Amino acid sequence: MSGAVPTLAELPLEAIRSAALARAAELGCRHAEVRVEVIRDQYLALRDAAVEGTSDDVEVGVGVRVVHGDALGFAATVELHADAARGLVDQAVALAKVTSAAGAAPVELAPEPAHGESTWEAPYRRDPTTVPIDERVALLGAWSRRLLAAPGVDHVTASLHAVAEEKHFADLAGTVTTQRRVRVHPSLEALALDGPGGAFETMRTCAPPVGRGFEYLEGDGWDFESELESMPGWLAEKLAARSVEPGAYDLVIDPTNLWLTIHESVGHATELDRSLGYEAAYAGTSFATFDQLGTLRYGSELMDVTGDRTTPHGLATVAYDDEGVAATAFDIVRDGVLVGYQLDRRIAAEAGFARSNGCAYACSPLMIPIQRMANVSLAHGGAAGPTTAELIAGVDRGIYVVGDKSWSIDMQRHNFQFTGQRFFEISHGRITGQLRDVAYQSRTTDFWGALGALGGESTYLLAGAMNCGKGQPGQVAAVSHGCPSALFRQVNVLNTLGESGR
């Protein structure tokens, strides 16, 4: 290898995959797949413009999954040679035999045609993990000092999370894929103290994580200059704002907030493994049970939600998933009715679907692929749809919600509450100032049933998370959620200060 951080091109990929697949065929495996991965994961944190911590982790390894007899087996190693690959198959087959003897239900995988050999790279201009640390520190430091210089800002924290992921996949059917993608998330938070009583408020950037390179921090995809210019004023106004009066309000929810509500109440709820009960021991099940497919009234007729593994710059965007399934887009909710789920090959076969829709992913070569979320997005109201200002103009008494913060949702993804970064009071169609201590609370179907209007294409934003957790042992995945600004009628608003008993 040429340096401390290897690339896939430097690894003996053909020898590893050929050895593994040949051994699987020898042992009579019905299915076998091998993944070779190089993942570089970096994190940089600053406090008040001084470096607080850095990490630069590289993971390289090989994972093999087989179907032998009627059971699955998986094994992985950091050894990168043909003999190790053959040994992995032996281990995986042995584990499958143990699982079969334990009386588990027979495993079937939904069919997937062979795709031959292909190479795919996500669109980006500058790999964020190769940007010199001095350059990253200088940019975050300059942004931090800019906020610290503003009146009323007492402290600033800044961070940058960057990942580059290379993956080589091959299976017995004849699919051989090589993929590379990057993702990045910069974040700054300003804090203002409110006198000797210990009260404080914070204001964080709303720039979402994206499947882009370092050019994102240079203004390609987000206007950081404008946001940093406005943050001190927003923070000062928030600190002086009055506490919200609880009750029912019309809400205009910005996509910088609504994406998280989609993630928790729609994205997780429509993972079919969860709906079938497989996540009950850890992350919960779902109210959107399989027997309601095609009949469950999820929301108003304005609600159209898709799962999409092909969205440009999406965090869950790939050409092929970790089972060799070609990426696609599919309906989840259409005209407010549940019409689809997110599937991997095993769950698709168990539930009677002809094919997976490509939702298998492993966060490491040492982890088995599990069903994970696609880019789950709410459709906008069209090119001629209303602007956010026009949605606000149609509200007599309400709140405009911007940015995500904390959230809580039950294990069935049905009852929830969400807060945010900024809450603007709406009176007779006009913004009259900020409010404090706001959370909106509802049940999933009630909330989406209250969807009264969708913003147009001009309000649409692709946001998301780098750290969606699932599985035992736990795995972390990145996923995007696109949505427009949207109007929800008469949603319950809580006063978080009052709810806390203070």
pLDDT, mean over the chain: 96
| 456-485 mean pLDDT | 96
User: What local confidence, expressed as pLDDT, does residue 2 receive?
Assistant: 43
| Mean pLDDT on 116-132 | 97
Q: What are phi and psi of 290, to 5 degrees?
A: -60, -30
Determine the Cα–Cα distance for residues 210 and 312; give it in Å rounded to an integer: 10
Q: Are 417 and 500 in contact (CB under 8 A)?
A: no
CATH number at residue 194: 3.30.2290.10
Question: Could you give the number of structural domains in the chain?
Answer: 2
Q: What is the mean predicted confidence (pLDDT) over 100-126?
A: 93
32 shares a domain with 13: yes
Domain range for 181 is 8-240
Q: Are residues 391 and 444 in the same domain?
A: yes
Domain boundary residue, one of 240, 262, 295: 240
Beta strand 451-454 with 486-495 is antiparallel
In a domain, 23, yes or no: yes
Percent of the chain whose pLDDT exceeds 90: 93
DSSP 177: E
Domain boundary (225, 240, 255) is at 240
Same domain, 220 and 297: no
- Report whether pLDDT(196) > 80: no
Considering 181, 215, 240, which residue would you say is the last residue of a domain? 240
pLDDT at 282: 84
Give the mean model confidence (pLDDT) for residues 168-190: 98
Is residue 3 included in any domain, yes or no?
A: no
Shared domain for 236 and 247, answered yes or no, is no
**Token digits of residue 376:** 């789950």
| pLDDT for 6 | 87
Unique residue bearing structure tokens 């406090």: 47
Whether residue 208 is predicted with pLDDT greater than 80 in this model: the reply is yes
Asked if residue 435 lies in contact with residue 425, where contact means CB atoms within 8 angstroms, the answer is: yes
Q: Kindly state whether residues 288 and 228 are assigned to the same domain.
A: no
Q: Among 392, 384, 420, which residue's Cα sits nearest to residue 405?
A: 420
When comparing pLDDT for 198 and 280, which is higher? Answer: 280
Nearest-angstrom CA–CA distance, 350 and 107? 8
487 and 382 in contact (C-beta within 8 Å)? no
Question: Domain check: are 305 and 382 in the same one?
Answer: yes
Compute how many other C-beta atoms are within 10 angstroms of the C-beta atom of residue 150.
Answer: 17
**Residue 418 pairs with which residues in a beta bridge?**
407, 440
In a domain, 160, yes or no: yes
| Token pair belonging to 86 | 């053959």
pLDDT of residue 3: 53
Q: Is position 218 within any domain?
A: yes
168 and 289 part of one domain: no
- The answer to whether position 1 is within a domain reads no
First to last CA, the chain: 60
Confidence category of residue 466, pLDDT binned at 50, 70, 90: very high
Q: Where are the alpha helices (DSSP H) in 49-204?
A: 82-101, 133-148
Secondary structure letter of residue 5 according to DSSP: S
pLDDT in the model for residue 371: 97
pLDDT digits (tens, 9 = 90+) for 370-391: 999 999 999 999 999 999 999 9
Locate 188 and state its tokens.
């700054």
Residue 214 domain-assigned?
yes
Provide the pLDDT for residue 502.
65
Say yes or no: 298 and 204 in one domain.
no
- Please indicate, yes or no, whether residues 323 and 190 belong to a single structural domain of this protein: no
pLDDT of residue 163 exceeding 60: yes
Total residue length of the chain:
502
Residue 394: is its pLDDT beyond 60?
Answer: yes
- pLDDT for 1 beyond 70: no
Confidence label for 412 from pLDDT (cuts 50, 70 and 90): very high
Whether residue 347 sits in one domain with residue 285: yes
- Rounded Cα gap, residues 346 and 350, in angstroms: 6
Same domain for 235 and 248: no
Same domain, 141 and 226: yes
Per-residue pLDDT at 105 exceeds 90? no
User: In this structure, is residue 35 part of a structural domain?
Assistant: yes
Q: Is residue 2 part of a domain?
A: no
